[in-house]
C-alpha cells in the first residue's frame, strides 16, 4: 500500500466512527481527472472528501497550515499545493492547472476560507476557482457537505453528496460571454442546492 493509500485508509476511521458520514452519489465520480468543488466549514472537510472519493487528488491549501509538522507530512504525502492568500499566487494556480492537465485530480474550496455556521451561497465563490477550471478545461465535480449545524461535528450525522460532474463545455456555455465570476457562481450553485432544500 502506498503512503497515500495508507493515509486515506486512516482517514476513513474518524469519518465512519466520529462523523457518521453517509456518502450519496458515489456513482457520479468520473473516471478522468476532475476539479473538486465543495463548501468549507471545518478543518476536517478535506479529510471527509478524500476518504469518500476513489481517485487520488491534491488539495489547494493555505500556506499557513504547513507551519504544523503533521500537516507538512500530510501535504508531502498528498502532494498538496499551498497558496498565499494575501495576494494573487500565480505559482499555486499554475500548479493546480498543470496537475489537472497531467491527469491528477485537484480539490478546491471556492469560498476561499472556512465559513462555519454560514449557509453556502453561490455568491461566496471566488473567481479564481473558475480561472483554474477554465485554463485546465477541467471537468468539475461538485461536492456538498451537509449537516444540521452547518459544520461537521463528532457523533452527528454528516451527509456528503457527490453531484453529477459538470463538463467544461457546459459551464463555459451558460451565456454568450460568461465572466469568471459567472462561471464560479454557476458551479458553486450546484454545491449549494441541498442547502436550499434544507431551508424550504
List, run by run, the mean pLDDT of 10-residue segments along the chain (200 residues).
85 85 97 96 91 92 76 79 76 93 96 95 94 97 96 92 98 96 98 78
pLDDT at residue 88, rounded to an integer: 67
Which pLDDT does position 170 carry in this prediction?
Answer: 98
Closest by CA position to 36, among listed 145, 169, 170: 145
The DSSP bridge partners found for residue 57 are 105
Closest to 41 in 3D by CA, of 32, 33, 49? 49
Q: What is the pLDDT of residue 200?
A: 42
10 Å CB burial of residue 109 (0-12, 13-18, 19+) is buried
Its pTM stands at 0.92
Report residue 132 CA to chain centroid gap. 13
How many structural domains is the chain composed of? 1
CA atoms of 77 and 127, how far apart (whole Å): 29
What distance in Å separates the CA atoms of residue 92 and residue 18, rounded to the nearest whole number? 33
- In CATH, what number is assigned to the domain containing residue 176? 3.40.1130.10
- pLDDT value for 87: 64
Q: Which domain holds residue 179?
A: 3-198
Per-residue burial over 1-37, b if 16 or more Cβ lie within 10 Å, else e, is eeeeeebbeebeebbeeebebebebeeebeeebbbbb
Amino acid at each position: 500500500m502506498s503512503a497515500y493509500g495508507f493515509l486515506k485508509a486512516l482517514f476513513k476511521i474518524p469519518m465512519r466512527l466520529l462523523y457518521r458520514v453517509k456518502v450519496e452519489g458515489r456513482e457520479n465520480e468520473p473516471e478522468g481527472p476532475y476539479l473538486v468543488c465543495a463548501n468549507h466549514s471545518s478543518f476536517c472537510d478535506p479529510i471527509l472528501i478524500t476518504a469518500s472519493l476513489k481517485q487520488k487528488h491534491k488539495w489547494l491549501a493555505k500556506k499557513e497550515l504547513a507551519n504544523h509538522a503533521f500537516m507538512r507530512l500530510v501535504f508531502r504525502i498528498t502532494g498538496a499545493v499551498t497558496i498565499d492568500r494575501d495576494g494573487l499566487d500565480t505559482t499555486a494556480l499554475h500548479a493546480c492547472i498543470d496537475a489537472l492537465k497531467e491527469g491528477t485530480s485537484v480539490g478546491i474550496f471556492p469560498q476561499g476560507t472556512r465559513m462555519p455556521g454560514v449557509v453556502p451561497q453561490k455568491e461566496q465563490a471566488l473567481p479564481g476557482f473558475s480561472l483554474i477550471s477554465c485554463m485546465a478545461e477541467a471537468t468539475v465535480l461538485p461536492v456538498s457537505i451537509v449537516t444540521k449545524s452547518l459544520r461537521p461535528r463528532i457523533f452527528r450525522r454528516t451527509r456528503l453528496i457527490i453531484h453529477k460532474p459538470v463538463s467544461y463545455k457546459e459551464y463555459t456555455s451558460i451565456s454568450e460571454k460568461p465572466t469568471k465570476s459567472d462561471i464560479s457562481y454557476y458551479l458553486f450553485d450546484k454545491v449549494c442546492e441541498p442547502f436550499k432544500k434544507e431551508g424550504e
